[in-house]
Amino acid sequence: MKGMIEPETIDNILNRARWAPSGDNTQPWRFERIAVDRFRIHSNDTRDWCVYDLEGRASQIAVGALFETIALAAGALGIEARFEIDSDAPETRPIINVALAAAPDGAVDPLQAVIEKRTTQRRPFSSKRLAAEHKSALEAAVGPDYRIVWIEGTGPKLQMARLLFRNAHIRLTIKEAYEVHKRIIEWDAQFSEDRIPDQALGLDAMTVKSMRWAMASWERVQFLNRWFAGTWLPRLQMDLLPGLGCAAHFLLVARQSPADISGYMAAGRAVQRLWLACASDDIQFQPEQTPIIFADYARKGIRFSSDQAAIAKAEKLRVEFNTLAGEANVTDAVFAGRVGYGTDARARSLRLPLARLLGA
């Protein structure tokens, strides 16, 4: 019965909530049942091995997206979920207590219907502009504490595509990123429960084959990059062409810059609502977080790589990004991506089964 909490309620909620997005499909959470109406989320950030998880913020945003997905899945059952961050848990391994209760009004948010549909499309979309009603729906979805800065039109999109192309050179030439890529790609796969399948990278078969050969060792990556311009084809296919092939790029900007872990988790809830709103209107979506991440590293003076040239490039990228989107917007951006009309991805990341996510 709707609004009733049964022994299977937690599992029913979590079986849908596990579809929340996370960076490179890392799924940085495990669940622990406490009582019929209570459970815990044991999360961990990936800053110790992932160069893209600056100060754990990417993982915290992912956990926030999980909060929103739990809330939506619970709301579909007439149940309200309340979240409390354990103040004694370390920031690198947050623990969140979740309490369930009958929802006061029992209203069901329509975004819950597309939880499982939401995905990433890394191939080019149509360049047709978003319809005004779709833009308005996306802007409303993120709530009053966030705003969307659109980068659209031929000239600005070209500038963003070029920025992404140069940004990708950092991503594909530093050893710190190589270690991440080696860990998160599943080869010869259309789907993957715990990584990104190679068929979802947005690359043609020849480039995938070349990349797989190079990824066998850092020395091979260096050889390919030095003698065969090994970054050109991946950057062309994953960054430049998709950067042009979209309706718009966007920055999701916090009206008040997040100051702590709870602020980034709140931002993650807005990210998930935006992503689900796209799925609801059949709008394709791809995150573009690394320009924000590298610009933040540069702004904070953090040495994210042993490659001094990459650090210098990140500073140039920060200046370029500020010129394109506005320094205040880049500084307060919690997420970035591109959107547009197009076909659904044929390959995608799946999720670990609930049985493997239960038990802290």
Domains delineated in the chain? 9-117 (3.40.109.10), 132-349 (3.40.109.10)
Which residues 6+ apart lie within 8 Å of 281 measured at CB? 134, 137
Task: Tell me which DSSP letter residue 98 carries.
Answer: E
d(CA 192, CA 186): 7
DSSP designation for 237 = I
For 357, the enclosing helix (H) or strand (E) is helix 354-357
Report the pLDDT value the prediction gives residue 1, as an integer from 0 to 100: 62
Asked if residues 281 and 115 have their Cβ atoms less than 8 Å apart, the reply is: no
Q: Looking at residue 291, what is its pLDDT?
A: 97
Q: How many residues does the chain have?
A: 360
212 Cβ contact partners less than 8 Å away, ≥ 6 residues apart: 187, 198
**pLDDT tens, N- to C-terminus, the chain (360 residues):** 677 899 999 999 999 999 999 999 999 999 999 999 999 999 999 999 999 999 999 999 999 999 999 999 999 999 999 999 999 999 999 999 999 999 988 789 999 999 999 999 999 999 999 999 999 999 999 999 999 999 999 999 999 999 999 999 999 999 999 999 999 999 999 999 999 999 999 999 999 999 999 999 999 999 999 888 889 999 999 999 999 999 999 999 999 999 999 999 999 999 999 999 999 999 999 999 999 999 999 999 999 999 999 999 999 999 999 999 999 999 999 999 999 999 999 999 999 999 999 985
Decide: 16 and 116 in contact? Cβ < 8 Å.
yes
Which residue spans within the chain are E strands per DSSP? 29-35, 38-43, 79-85, 95-102, 146-151, 185-186, 191-192, 196-197, 248-254, 284-287, 333-340, 348-349
The pLDDT value recorded for residue 229 is 81
Q: How far apart are CA 224 and CA 264, in angstroms?
A: 38
